[in-house]
Amino acid sequence: MTKQEVQLRVSKDETNEGSGDTNTNLRRSIGDVANDVNNFTLRGGSVRVQTLSADTTLEALTADYLVDGAYTITLPPAADWILFGGSSIQISIKNAAGAGDSVTVEGNGSETIDGAGNKALAQYRGVVLISNGTNIFIKSQI
């Protein structure tokens, strides 16, 4: 199957030096557009960081979470982690609580995290999580 192409016709009213109306044709393959969407990155190294101070069910957003206490964090459904093109969002969770406070990260419903129903995080420990659309996997431990 060959690449399908999308042709966009953009009408732009130019007023520079009496140039009149100008139509600009833009052609990009669907594959290139999908690649641009999947490779979107925030400039300047900015990351969404949120501190959680209660039991929480997360939304499917790429974000970093600091948990400030012995709370249970429930992950969004694994299917919601998959983006256009099949890539997964990443969620980072780190225990920023005091000594002895363990954070529990739970899968949604019967979904598992590396085959287990939950993952306990000791003080200053964390995980970076990804999904295949069915279950959650630990990409790295922090």
- Cα angle: 135, vertex 142, 59; to 5 degrees: 45
Residue with tokens 């964090």: 73
In this predicted model, which residue has the larger pLDDT, 120 or 99? 120
Enter the pTM of the model: 0.67
The residue-averaged pLDDT of 118-131 equals 96
Average pLDDT, integer, range 83-101: 90
Question: How is the chain classified by DSSP, letter by letter?
Answer: -PPPEEEEEEEEE--GGG--EEEEEEEEEHHHHHHHHHT---GGG---EEEE-S-EE--S--EEEEE-SS-EEEPPPGGGGBPTTS-B--EEEEE-S-TTPPEEEE-STT--BTTBSEEEE-TT-EEEEEE-SSSEEEEEE-
Looking at residues 64-75, what average pLDDT do you find?
A: 95
HSE-up of residue 128 (Cα within 13 Å, Cβ side): 8
Question: What's the rounded mean pLDDT across residues 50-70?
Answer: 91
Q: What is the pLDDT of residue 116?
A: 96
Q: What are phi and psi of 12, to 5 degrees?
A: -135, 125
- Reference 65, options 30, 92, 39, 35; nearest CA is 92
What pLDDT is stored for residue 46 in this prediction?
54
pLDDT of residue 98: 84
Q: Give the CATH class of 44-141.
A: mainly beta
Q: What residue ranges do the domains of the chain occupy?
A: 5-38, 44-141
pLDDT given at position 107: 95
More confident residue, 11 or 136: 136
pLDDT in tens, 14-56: 344 454 444 333 333 444 444 344 334 433 455 678 999 999 9
